[in-house]
Amino acid sequence: MHNEGSNVISRRQLLVEDWKHTLYLWRQNKLAMVGTVLVAFFILIAIFAPLIAPYDPIEVDLSQTLLPPSSEHIFGTDQFGRDIFSRVVYGARIEVGIILLVTVISGTIGLAVGITAGYFGGVIDDVLMRITDVFLSFPNLILAMALSAMLGRGVFNAIIAISLVGWTIIARLARAESMKIKSLPYIEAIRALGASNIRILLLHILPMCMSPVLVQLSLRMGSIILTAAGLGFLGLGAQPPTPEWGAIVSDGRSYLVEQWWISTFPGLFIALVVLGFNLLGDGIRDMMDPRIRR
């Protein structure tokens, strides 16, 4: 008994040590810290958008059109007299919403397909993996474009389109994890106790797959913004007057030469936020790497 108790404590201590070590590695990794700061700024801007933005992002003011950056409008105004800074600030909310919804939807589809395929194996696995292969055969943006155009252009359909092309990597990962887990003795033991397949899948396999899947989902957040902005830019995603960043860049295309600020600032924000996610992602990848972790 005594032995078992100390075992539990030492395991907990190990976990705490593990976290401390991760925190230490993160502090060592300057680029990951820069990434964290950029992402944190992005989320704060999205949360406090109404407090930060000085003007309404959608209201048209024809007396203020195409003004260059000044102390009144620090990013200038567009052809409808809307303040670019306010549009960019509110745009952060749209992008956060897109990231969250796409992550949840594609994560759910990927997990469902992946753990089912990995757990049951055989014909079910073959069929589900061929379906995954089919979706992997399209370059992401091209299938998302087609889906979005056919569903009808708009933010929500763009979200559905991006989710429907983004689940494949998650499915493959979850499949590999659940294959590993299902052969462990404790699953055997639970099955011997009479647990149903559904119960084993949902209560015992799914939770064990979560952490690698969450890491993978976080690595993809930057590319979700790029895809959404690409759709918005092509006119196949968010529609005007929605202040989606890619769509704002597109708004400024006709005014590129004289009114450079309309396209430049939202694009700069996309670049900074995606850079933040990618630096953070690179750091996470390094921290997960056992050769660096030791």
Partner 1 sequence: MKLETFIIKRLFLMLIVLFGVSVVVFVVARAIPADPVGAILGGNAPIELVDEMRRRLGLDKPLFDQFLDFMSGVVRGDLGVSIKSNRPVIKDIAEFFPATLELAIVAALISIILGVPLGIFSAVHRNKLVDHFCRVFSILGVSMPVFWTGLLLLILFYYRLGWLPGSGRVGIFTVMPPKVTGLLLLDSLLAGDFGAFKDALSHIILPAVVLGYSATASIARIMRSSMLDVLRQDFIRTAKAKGIGRRLVIYRHALRNALIPVVTVIGLTFGSLLEGAVLTETIFGWPGLGRYIVNSLLLLDYPAIMGGTLFVAVVYSLVNLVVDIIYAALDPRMRV
Chain residues that interact with partner 1, rule: CB under 8 A: 30-31, 130-131, 133-135, 137-143, 145-147, 149-152, 222, 226, 229-230, 233-236, 246, 249-250, 253, 256-257, 260, 263-264, 267-268, 270-271, 274-275, 277-279, 282
- What are the CA-CA distances from residue 229 to residues 36, 184, 233, 262 (Å)? 21, 43, 6, 15
Shortest distance in whole angstroms from residue 140 CB to partner 1: 6
- Pairwise CA distance, residues 12 & 19, whole Å: 11
- What are the CA-CA distances from residue 132 to residues 80, 89, 121, 162, 168 (Å)? 45, 37, 15, 15, 6
Residue whose token pair is 């092309």:
165
Shortest distance in whole angstroms from residue 111 CB to partner 1: 21
Q: Which lies closer to partner 1 via its Cβ, residue 161 or residue 201?
A: 161
Length of the chain equals 294
Shortest distance in whole angstroms from residue 21 CB to partner 1: 17
Shortest distance in whole angstroms from residue 77 CB to partner 1: 19
- Pairwise CA distance, residues 264 & 241, whole Å: 18
| Helices 206-219, 168-182: crossing angle, 10 deg rounding | 150
Contact 200, 187 (CB under 8 A): yes
- Pairwise CA distance, residues 179 & 198, whole Å: 16
Shortest distance in whole angstroms from residue 183 CB to partner 1: 18
- Pairwise CA distance, residues 146 & 165, whole Å: 11
State both tokens at 121: 């194996």
Shortest distance in whole angstroms from residue 164 CB to partner 1: 10
- Pairwise CA distance, residues 103 & 220, whole Å: 9
Q: Which lies closer to partner 1 via its Cβ, residue 57 or residue 246?
A: 246
Q: Which lies closer to partner 1 via its Cβ, residue 279 or residue 284?
A: 279
Q: Which lies closer to partner 1 via its Cβ, residue 141 or residue 174?
A: 141
Is 19 buried (19+), middle (13-18) or exposed (0-12) by CB count in 10 A? exposed
Shortest distance in whole angstroms from residue 257 CB to partner 1: 5
Shortest distance in whole angstroms from residue 202 CB to partner 1: 28
Spatial neighbors of 266 by CB under 8 A, at least 6 apart, are: 84, 87, 88, 91, 245, 246, 248, 249
